[in-house]
């Protein structure tokens, strides 16, 4: 009994350190810009929670009243999604890309989490409405991976968002944690302790922020996009999320040959993304494909 108690105390002492080191998001700063794609842009700073600010790029489309706000995934930055943003901008949309806290060129904070990604996305939407009302007639959001989960969470509670595109979202963060710890062959009780500790740190129960559950509270159009060859988040997660969608017309685009970060493969499906956004952001027939 004494031995077990000592082991338990050791585990409890190690978990906080392991969580904060193992789940810390790597910072990768932008090396390029939208100019590399021949696009005009404005570099912006967006105030967010806890006195921090976000780095972003606003890609204006002349005369467009709708804007797509794009958020990257864990350990990534706005530049990673420029290959998608560029053709969507050429399709006639204003596009706003931003870095979450602790990512890219945004300010640092104590930790990153799906709820904080969502908080940053909500602040970007609010900033757009306040500073660019002529471009905020209708707003859609697009997120990748953790950014996709954040996009679904923010859409579930933000009536200013008219549509959401989720790329490679996981179904439930507890399952992600279990997959992450599986190679360590941790006992089940250790995994449960890690999950409870993370919930305590971020201030949210996993069930409340899981895409599998947040989609139940979304009424606007939803497009889920997922690679069939995703080895990080299996495509089965997207199918389960779709099964819980209550929004009319919610659909899943499965991309053959695409892995978790295969933006190039998804780029080949820009027409489907534009068709989805047609009528949501412009409401004036198909979005025109324009050359810069």
Averaged pLDDT, groups of 10, the chain, 292 residues long: 41 47 79 97 98 98 95 97 96 97 97 97 98 96 98 98 98 93 81 91 97 98 97 97 96 97 92 90 52 41
Nearest Cα neighbor of 178 from 233, 227, 228 is 233
Whole-model pTM? Answer: 0.90
pLDDT at 266: 94
Q: How far is CA 38 from CA 108, 185, 247, in A?
A: 30, 49, 37
Dihedral through CA 152, CA 61, CA 36, CA 81, nearest 10? 10
pLDDT at 8: 38
Nearest Cα neighbor of 25 from 96, 97, 117 is 117
pLDDT at 36: 97
pLDDT at 5: 40
pLDDT at 182: 84
Strands annotated E in 3-62: 42-47, 53-59
Q: How far is CA 178 from CA 189, 191, 241, 269, in A?
A: 11, 7, 18, 32
Nearest Cα neighbor of 69 from 114, 120, 107 is 120
d(CA 247, CA 48): 29
């Amino acid at each position: 009994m004494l031995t077990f108690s000592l082991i338990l105390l050791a585990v409890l002492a190690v978990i906080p350190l392991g969580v904060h080191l193992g789940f810390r998001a790597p910072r990768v700063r932008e090396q390029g810009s939208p100019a590399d794609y021949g696009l005009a842009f404005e570099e912006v700073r967006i105030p967010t929670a806890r006195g921090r600010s976000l780095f972003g790029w606003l890609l204006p489309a002349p005369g467009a009243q709708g804007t797509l706000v794009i958020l990257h995934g864990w350990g990534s930055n706005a530049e990673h999604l420029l290959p998608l943003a560029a053709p969507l901008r050429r399709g006639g949309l204003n596009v706003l890309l931003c870095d979450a806290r602790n990512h890219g060129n945004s300010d640092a904070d104590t930790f990153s989490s799906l709820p904080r990604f969502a908080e940053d996305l909500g602040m970007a939407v609010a900033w757009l409405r306040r500073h660019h009302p002529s471009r905020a007639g209708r707003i859609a959001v697009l997120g990748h991976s953790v950014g996709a989960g954040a996009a679904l969470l923010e859409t579930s509670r933000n009536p200013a968002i008219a549509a959401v595109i989720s790329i490679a979202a996981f179904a439930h963060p507890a399952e992600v944690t279990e997959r992450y710890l599986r190679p360590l062959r941790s006992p089940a009780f250790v995994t449960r302790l890690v999950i409870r500790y993370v919930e305590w740190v971020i201030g949210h129960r996993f069930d409340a922020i899981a895409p599998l559950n947040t989609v139940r509270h979304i009424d606007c159009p939803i497009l889920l996009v997922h690679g069939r060859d995703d080895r990080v988040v299996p495509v089965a997660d997207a199918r389960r999320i779709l099964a819980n969608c209550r929004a009319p017309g919610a659909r899943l685009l499965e991309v053959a040959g695409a892995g978790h970060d295969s933006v190039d493969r998804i780029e080949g499906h820009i027409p489907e993304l534009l068709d989805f956004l047609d009528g949501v952001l412009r409401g004036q027939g198909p979005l025109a494909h324009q050359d810069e």
